[in-house]
A and B are shown apart, each in its own frame.
Chain A
Amino acid sequence: MALEVSHVVGGYSQIPVLKDISFDVQDGELVGLIGLNGAGKSTTINHVIGLLTPHKGTITLNGVTIAQDSQAYKQQIAYIPETPVLYQELTLREHLELTMMAYDLDHDVAWATAHELLKTFRLDNKLDWFPANFSKGMKQKVMIVCAFLTQAKLFIIDEPFLGLDPLAVNDLLQLIEKRKQAGASILMSTHVLDTAQRYCDRFVLLHDGQVKTEGTLSELQAALPEAGESLNDIYLSMTKVDRS
């Protein structure tokens, strides 16, 4: 079992946003984290990457928690934020190099991977650019390249599909598929439900800081038989219950 989130209560302040949530991500599995704005997706992710400390509960990654050994924990994680953040003073080349240094990667092997990724995302001629000169989509691609440079066991991807061009979305999905085959786990939050429906193995539906349901699409369909066929329908019906 790769990632296990168990009974986590947490948030930015003393008032908890997450109210006792539990789910897991298995090896070689792509789990979609689905929820409305403010449902707690980003808060969950911030807990998993270690930016926030849970008030209660534990988050274990291949048997290690962040409190036990933060370096061993973080070594296994690669993160792609929703809003790309880059070091303003570093060029693209230096961002890649910094990633290699931080994850202690073999430079020759990593650069070979890097060049391949750069070519895929059409960034190979922009190695000496500063972030200020990149568009938002390009910055997002830089984030993807940096993340997939690593040999992380868990990829955490926050809303990857908005802002990327269709070609890049397709390339990203292929990259995810390849890493899944190699045994890595992926936790991905998104609002683009039809893409999620096609690619995710399992779904965690968050609502108001709680896990409403989780499971594969067929499990969800079985649990809510009158809701409809697609993830979209299931999700809408689930939120409707709450609104009325």
Chain B
Amino acid sequence: MTELFHERLQRHLREMAKYLRLVFNDFFVFALLFFLGGLGLGYSNILKNLKADQWWAPFVALLVLIITAQFGRYATLIEDADRVFLLPKERAMHAYFVQARKYSLVLAEIAQVIVMFILTPFLRVALGWSLMEVILLVVAQLVLKDALLRLDISSAYQVTGQRRMNHWAVKWLVSIIVLVPGLWLTPFLSFVLILFIDVFTWLWLEERWPKQQIRWREQIKIEDNRMLGIYRFFNLFTEVPMVAGTIKRRRYLDGILRLVKPTHSQTYLYLYSRGMLRGTEFSGLVVRLTVIGMLLLYFVRGEWLPIFLAALFIYLIGFQLLPFFQQYDDVVFTHVYPLTEQQQVKSFVKLVTIILAVAAALLWVIILIANPTVKTAGGSLVVELIEVWYLARIYTPRRLARAIKNRG
């Protein structure tokens, strides 16, 4: 079982490495360095002007520590098929879970150490602590994370009936109980408390788990959610096949959808419009880009910059919409229905035109509010109109023709 976990871990790390290389591209690293540099500078300025023994300082420290303690989730790497294939090995699974906890613990403790390192000058200045006190708190925080991960592993078993020990409220409660006496009285108290809690949960679990069933379904769900969170993050930078997006009914949009008349030539528009508005993947993309564009345009001043930015955002939206054309390729009826590819392309072009026109109109209104000069507002209107027309009517059909050809 230990071996199984290590095999999976290796595969997992390889996959993560592949995506991380894509995330940390030159541009992003550059931006990140700037961002961190600015943040560091701001923090050191605040520290310089800080007076000792502020009443609010322990509250800030408490909040930072509690949130930090939740960093680093329990990564089991278990898969859906495990509840069938590993069921006969249920007892042996504990060794697997222990290995998984070890791995999660290492990652989580690294995160704790980094945050504690950053927090140390604050504790020294604002709380006026000695180095010894800080070290005690750091150790307490590390043991706290150890205990929280014990709650996670205990929740893998049906030890506590229907109650889940890994509920976030339980974790926050434990963190508060441990940290409050430490921050307001002496960190020594935190240290003693958490040591007691950790050892107690450890002994309690050791005694109980051999008699209990594993909550397979729940563990698989937790792991799936964890991975989905990671994939969603990667999806911001690159395409991740595992992120499919979800579907929401959005009944309030039915009025818009009813505008598509149910006739033969509109079949694909009927399908695409519903897919677009109810699926979260592409609609989310369009809304995110439009909102970011609007915010940016609201704060940007200048003659040419707003025109350029609006054009850029419309291009980004139009470009990202293209893969939606193939959204239904794996539904056999898309091919069986007596419809032609020309009809499909025509409907898609119509959809793109509408979406881009709405986005362009919204961006233009913001330009009108933020930069109400004839040159900027008029110029952007002309540029946007030409761009929407070109993207939707010329560029999109050309790209789709190529996509259809590759379809074979």
Which residues of A pack against B, CB within 8 Å?
A: 49-51, 70-75, 77, 79, 81, 85-90, 94, 97-104, 107, 130, 132
Tell me the complex Cα distance, A85–B332, Å.
Answer: 7
Q: Which of A70, A94, A103 contacts B340 (CB 8 A)?
A: A70
Q: Which of A86, A89, A97, A100 contacts B275 (CB 8 A)?
A: A89
B18 at the interface (CB under 8 A from A): no
Residues of B within 8 A of A74 (CB): 336-339
Evaluate contact between B332 and A102: CB separation under 8 angstroms. no
Per-residue contact bits, chain B 265-285, to A (CB 8 Å; 1 contact, 0 not): 011001100110011000000
Evaluate contact between B340 and A71: CB separation under 8 angstroms. yes
Residues of A within 8 A of B275 (CB): 87, 89
Residues of A within 8 A of B266 (CB): 101
Q: Quick one: which of A75, A89, A100, A104 has the most chain B CB within 10 A?
A: A89
22 cross-chain CB contacts under 8 A: A50-B335, A50-B336, A70-B338, A71-B338, A71-B339, A71-B340, A74-B337, A79-B332, A87-B271, A88-B247, A88-B279, A89-B274, A89-B275, A99-B337, A101-B266, A101-B270, A102-B267, A102-B333, A102-B339, A104-B264, A130-B247, A130-B249
Evaluate contact between A89 and B332: CB separation under 8 angstroms. no
Residues of B within 8 A of A102 (CB): 264, 267, 333, 337-339
Residues of B within 8 A of A70 (CB): 338, 340
Residues of B within 8 A of A51 (CB): 332, 335-336
Residues of B within 8 A of A98 (CB): 267, 270-271
Total count of chain B residues near the partner, CB < 8 A: 24
B24 at the interface (CB under 8 A from A): no
Residues of A within 8 A of B337 (CB): 74, 99, 102-103
Tell me the complex Cα distance, A133–B110, Å.
Answer: 43
The closest CB in chain A to the CB of B244 belongs to A88
Evaluate contact between B247 and A89: CB separation under 8 angstroms. yes
Interface residues of B in 327-350 (CB under 8 A from A): 328, 330-333, 335-340
Report if A97-B331 is in contact (Cβ < 8 Å); known contacts: A71-B339, A89-B247.
Answer: no
Tell me the complex Cα distance, A75–B340, Å.
Answer: 11
Residues of B within 8 A of A100 (CB): 262
The closest CB in chain A to the CB of B340 belongs to A71
B130 at the interface (CB under 8 A from A): no
Tell me the complex Cα distance, A132–B245, Å.
Answer: 13
Residues of A within 8 A of B338 (CB): 70-75, 77, 102-104
B45 at the interface (CB under 8 A from A): no
Tell me the complex Cα distance, A73–B339, Å.
Answer: 11
> Shortest beta-carbon distance, A244 to chain B, in Å?
35
Q: Which of B267, B278, B335 contacts A89 (CB 8 A)?
A: B278
Evaluate contact between B328 and A87: CB separation under 8 angstroms. yes
Evaluate contact between A79 and B336: CB separation under 8 angstroms. yes
Tell me the complex Cα distance, A50–B247, Å.
Answer: 30
Q: Which of A75, A85, A101 contacts B331 (CB 8 A)?
A: A85
Tell me the complex Cα distance, A81–B328, Å.
Answer: 16
Evaluate contact between B274 and A90: CB separation under 8 angstroms. yes
Evaluate contact between B336 and A89: CB separation under 8 angstroms. no
Residues of A within 8 A of B263 (CB): 101
Q: Quick one: which of A51, A75, A85, A87 has the most chain B CB within 10 A?
A: A87
The closest CB in chain B to the CB of A103 belongs to B338
Report if A97-B332 is in contact (Cβ < 8 Å); known contacts: A71-B338, A74-B337.
Answer: no
Evaluate contact between B336 and A107: CB separation under 8 angstroms. no
Residues of A within 8 A of B339 (CB): 71, 74, 102
Tell me the complex Cα distance, A100–B247, Å.
Answer: 24
Interface residues of B in 267-316 (CB under 8 A from A): 267, 270-271, 274-275, 278-279
Residues of A within 8 A of B262 (CB): 97, 100-101, 107
Tell me the complex Cα distance, A94–B262, Å.
Answer: 10
Residues of A within 8 A of B270 (CB): 94, 97-98, 101
Per-residue contact bits, chain B 45-69, to A (CB 8 Å; 1 contact, 0 not): 0000000000000000000000000
Tell me the complex Cα distance, A85–B328, Å.
Answer: 11
Q: Which of A71, A103, A132 contacts B247 (CB 8 A)?
A: A132
Evaluate contact between A90 and B271: CB separation under 8 angstroms. yes
Evaluate contact between A77 and B264: CB separation under 8 angstroms. no
Residues of B within 8 A of A75 (CB): 338
Tell me the complex Cα distance, A7–B339, Å.
Answer: 27
